[in-house]
Amino acid sequence: MGGTVDLRSDTVTQPTDRMREAMATARVGDDVFREDPTVAELEGFAARMVGHPAGLFCASGTMANLVAVLTHCRRGDAVLADAEAHVLHYEAGGMSVLAGAFPQPLRTGDGHPTLEELEAAVGPPDVHRPPARLVWLENTHNRAGGVAYRPDRTAAVARWAHARGLRVHLDGARLFNAAVALGVAAADLAAPVDSVMVSLSKGLSAPAGSVLCGSEAFVEEARRWRKALGGGMRQVGVLAAAGLVALREMVDRLWEDHRRARVLAEGLAEIPGVEVDPDRVQTNIVLARVADAPGVVERLRAHGVLALALDARTIRFVTHRHVDDGGVERAVRAMRAAVAG
């Protein structure tokens, strides 16, 4: 039967041998004093990849997103985000609790707000409402099933926002999955926005860390907020070294995860009682609808397959480099048995 097939998230990936070697031999210094050469190299390399002048290494994507809100917004400013955005569901309400920003959820058609939806949300100036300050995008979109949004859509939102004095942040935790799926450079997806976060610890397999990128002035201010949150780390080049390997060596293989996700979706779609649309699977996330998601997830575990119940009827499966073709086949067999009860 083999070991457990863990499809809960691509965050379960382990660092590669090359990452471990790089970590063991990394040149380090005190990064709070800006003396860690490996961190500086990572920040510059990541920023160039996403088309921005500067980068800031953060402990996590949640920290990087919160730093972005703190840097862009004043207390009481509104953040316009899709109602299913990761920041509204999985980041402990940090933008409100710690940044004092007001999340304004938008009911979008596919997770990426249209200009009409944004225009309606902003409306005319009104003393009764918090002023809109930041538009929040997510690419790929987690709860929409790993959907990748084209560069022209992001660019159009950025033009609209900038014309109204608003800023745009892109949660690009899986931005490189989007770039690979669409056949474009990551910079094509991220250059138009004011800031972007990319995660190193998901499909790219680094043990920890994300990079927040933007203008030099933005990053300088963001560095202060990172420090205020306790994110000023010392000889953190040992982690940055793994991040450099992740960016240099792990992006081009993401298509394998996408292919396996599509195979998984096609297999699940054939099971009675499971609703999956394989044509909507663009990257490494598969959403399956069943009658009792928590119950099915528990029965899957008994068959050696791990997945996540997003709500009462939706199960999320995420492929990554530790799930091979055999693992996908096992997951389909286990799902068939789990749904049957």
Instruction: Check if the beta carbon of residue 77 is closer than 8 Å to that of residue 165.
Output: no
Q: Are residues 295 and 155 in the same domain?
A: no
Q: Are residues 103 and 126 in the same domain?
A: yes
Mean pLDDT of 33-55: 98
Q: 151-163 vs 115-122: helix axis angle to the nearest 10?
A: 30
pLDDT in tens, 185-196: 999 999 999 999
Q: Are residues 180 and 309 in the same domain?
A: no
Domain boundary among 189, 217, 249: 249
Q: Say how many domains are in the chain.
A: 2
Q: Are residues 54 and 150 in the same domain?
A: yes
CATH classification of the domain holding 303:
3.90.1150.10
Which pLDDT belongs to residue 1?
46
The CA distance from 92 to 140, in Å, is 20
Percentage of the residues of the chain whose pLDDT score is greater than 70: 99
Mean pLDDT of 151-158: 98
Which pLDDT belongs to residue 125?
85
HSE-up of residue 54 (Cα within 13 Å, Cβ side): 12
pLDDT interval class at 2 (50, 70, 90): low
Q: Are residues 36 and 91 in the same domain?
A: yes
Q: Are residues 137 and 121 in the same domain?
A: yes
Q: Are residues 148 and 208 in the same domain?
A: yes
Q: Provide the domain limits for residue 272.
A: 5-12+253-340
Q: Are residues 155 and 202 in the same domain?
A: yes
Q: Are residues 111 and 216 in the same domain?
A: yes
Q: Are residues 232 and 303 in the same domain?
A: no
Domain boundary among 232, 249, 266: 249
Q: Are residues 238 and 270 in the same domain?
A: no
Q: Are residues 50 and 165 in the same domain?
A: yes
